């Protein structure tokens, strides 16, 4: 009898617990004015609710978490000279800042097509722009690689203005889960589309010493390519799996231990940045994609169309410069930028990530290549 009562009491207690509503979980406290942990930056991640906080972050020359500050906007818009009724392309949609300004120029007439490969950020940008009233047929967003510009043109027709911002978006860099940041530990992935291809971690499991050295030199002009490549391969032979950004950062740090202490910290920081850039370019085939885009571009441009390309490192800039100049000599482009346009001192002060940007442009000739 006593045993039955105990069982009955336990069942009653469990029943009461099941019927209780779960206690609401408290949001992580916003530590200080500018918390360092990405997950704790919820005010920056909700600019529509905390506009004042976001403004304060931007005035300090920083990019709020989850956002991207478009670079050389005025210079790009001034050159493209967009008229209402035209049809154009933002080849790298990202956060949508450049697209928003181009849509304003169209003033509800004509159409803007926009492409991006990122399956995580693209839906957010599409929703954000739709909330501002920009939807089809005036804004047509497609998840595709901009090297497929010839495929897109079958839908859009000939384009009268094109922008390609080749930089990695700040919201990709800042989110440690994407594995682009050196500041915090995250998975060593580096893919713009995590669903395609192999990650940087997987690449390092199979790559040869010779190929790794080649990637470091050709993709980022890494001055310490040899000791870094040797250290990575040696670590792999010891069983290292390179699962995190922190693990690779430590290997690069060990590879440069021969440098004097006075210059080692800065040298390691720059070597890490260049090495991660080289691996990112490789896993995303960024140079191959860019070359394909530049080759196909003249065939999808209307006569007198304007093209602007924003680059962020020498490998990109060289390819754009050579392609534009070669097509200018061939009479395809009637005019190209004699020199790259750089971000102003004021913009660099407010957004240090604009420091390495170079803007090159070209104007299509009077002919239609199709």
- Asked if residue 171 lies in contact with residue 101, where contact means CB atoms within 8 angstroms, the answer is no
Q: What dihedral do alpha carbons 298, 301, 306, 308 form, nearest 10°?
A: -60
- Per-residue pLDDT of 208-227, as tens digits, reads 999 999 999 999 999 999 99
Asked if pLDDT for residue 86 goes beyond 60, the answer is yes
User: Where do the CATH 3.40.50.150 domains begin and end in the chain?
Assistant: 73-170+287-364
3-state SS class at 334: strand
CATH 1.10.150: which residues of the chain? Answer: 194-283
When mean pLDDT is compared across 16-20, 134-138, 182-186, 247-251, the lowest value belongs to 16-20
* Confidence category of residue 14, pLDDT binned at 50, 70, 90: very low
Handedness of CA 351, 357, 358, 361 (dihedral sign): negative
pLDDT for res 167: 87
Kindly tell me if the per-residue pLDDT of 257 is higher than 80. Answer: yes
Crossing angle of helices 122-131/97-106, nearest 10°?
A: 40
CA distance 243 to 179: 10
Res 228 pLDDT > 70: yes
> Strand pairing of 111-116 and 341-342?
unpaired
Pick among 1.10.12, 2.60.40, 1.10.150, 1.10.3470: CATH of 194-283? 1.10.150
Angle at 298 between CA 113 and CA 331, to 5 degrees: 150
Instruction: Decide: helix, strand or coil at residue 290.
Output: helix
- pLDDT of 13 > 50? The answer is no
Q: Among 60-64, 252-256, 298-302, 323-327, which stretch is predicted with the lowest mean pLDDT?
A: 60-64
At 49 the pLDDT is 57
Binned at pLDDT 50, 70 and 90, residue 169 comes out as: confident
Q: 149-159 pLDDT, tens per residue?
A: 999 999 999 99
Residues of the chain with pLDDT > 90, as a percent, come to: 70
How far apart, in whole angstroms, are the C-alpha atoms of residue 291 and residue 223? 25
Q: What angle do CA 47, 116, 282 make, to 5 degrees?
A: 110
User: What is the structure's pLDDT at 35?
Assistant: 60
The model carries a pTM of 0.81
Q: Which fold has domain 73-170+287-364?
A: Rossmann fold (3.40.50)
Condensed to tens digits (0 to 9), the pLDDT of residues 122-138 reads 999 999 999 999 999 99
* Residue spans of alpha helices (H) in 221-339: 225-237, 245-255, 261-283, 286-296, 314-329
**Residues 364 and 300: beta-carbon distance below 8 Å:** no
C-alpha atoms less than 13 angstroms from C-alpha of 185 in its C-beta half-sphere: 7
For 180-212, what is each residue's pLDDT tens digit? 777 778 899 999 999 899 999 999 999 999 999
Q: Tell me the pLDDT of the chain averaged across its residues.
A: 86
């Amino acid at each position: 009898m006593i045993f039955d009562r105990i069982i009955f009491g336990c069942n009653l207690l469990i029943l009461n617990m099941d019927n209780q509503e779960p206690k609401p979980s408290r949001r992580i406290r916003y530590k200080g004015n500018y918390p360092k942990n990405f997950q704790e930056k919820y005010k920056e991640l909700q600019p529509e609710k905390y506009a004042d906080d976001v403004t304060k972050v931007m005035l300090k020359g920083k990019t709020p978490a989850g956002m991207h500050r478009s670079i050389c906007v005025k210079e790009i818009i001034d050159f493209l000279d967009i008229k209402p009724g035209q049809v154009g392309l933002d080849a790298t949609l990202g956060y949508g800042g450049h697209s928003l300004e181009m849509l304003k120029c169209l003033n509800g007439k004509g159409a803007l097509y926009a492409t991006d490969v990122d399956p995580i950020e693209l839906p957010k940008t599409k929703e954000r722009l739709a909330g501002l009233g920009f939807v089809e047929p005036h804004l047509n967003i497609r998840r595709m690689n901009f090297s497929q510009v010839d495929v897109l043109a079958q839908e859009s027709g000939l384009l009268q203005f094109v922008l390609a911002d080749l930089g990695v978006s700040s919201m990709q860099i800042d989110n440690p889960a994407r594995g682009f940041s050196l500041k915090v530990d995250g998975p060593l992935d580096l893919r713009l589309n995590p669903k395609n291809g192999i990650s940087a971690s997987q690449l390092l499991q199979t790559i040869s010493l010779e190929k790794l050295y080649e990637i470091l030199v050709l993709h980022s002009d890494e001055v310490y390519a040899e000791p870094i490549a040797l250290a990575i391969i040696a670590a792999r032979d010891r069983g290292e799996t390179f699962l995190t950004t922190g693990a690779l950062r430590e290997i690069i740090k060990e590879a440069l231990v021969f440098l004097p202490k006075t210059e080692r910290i800065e040298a390691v920081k720059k070597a890490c940045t260049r090495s991660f850039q080289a691996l990112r370019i490789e896993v995303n085939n960024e140079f191959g994609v860019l070359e394909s885009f530049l080759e196909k571009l003249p065939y999808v441009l209307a006569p007198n169309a304007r093209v602007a390309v924003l680059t962020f490192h020498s490998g990109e800039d060289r390819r754009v410069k050579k392609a534009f100049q070669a097509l200018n000599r061939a009479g395809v482009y009637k005019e190209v930028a004699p020199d790259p346009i750089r971000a102003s001192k004021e913009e660099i002060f407010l957004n240090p990530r604009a420091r390495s940007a170079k803007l090159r442009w070209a104007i299509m000739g009077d002919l239609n290549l199709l």
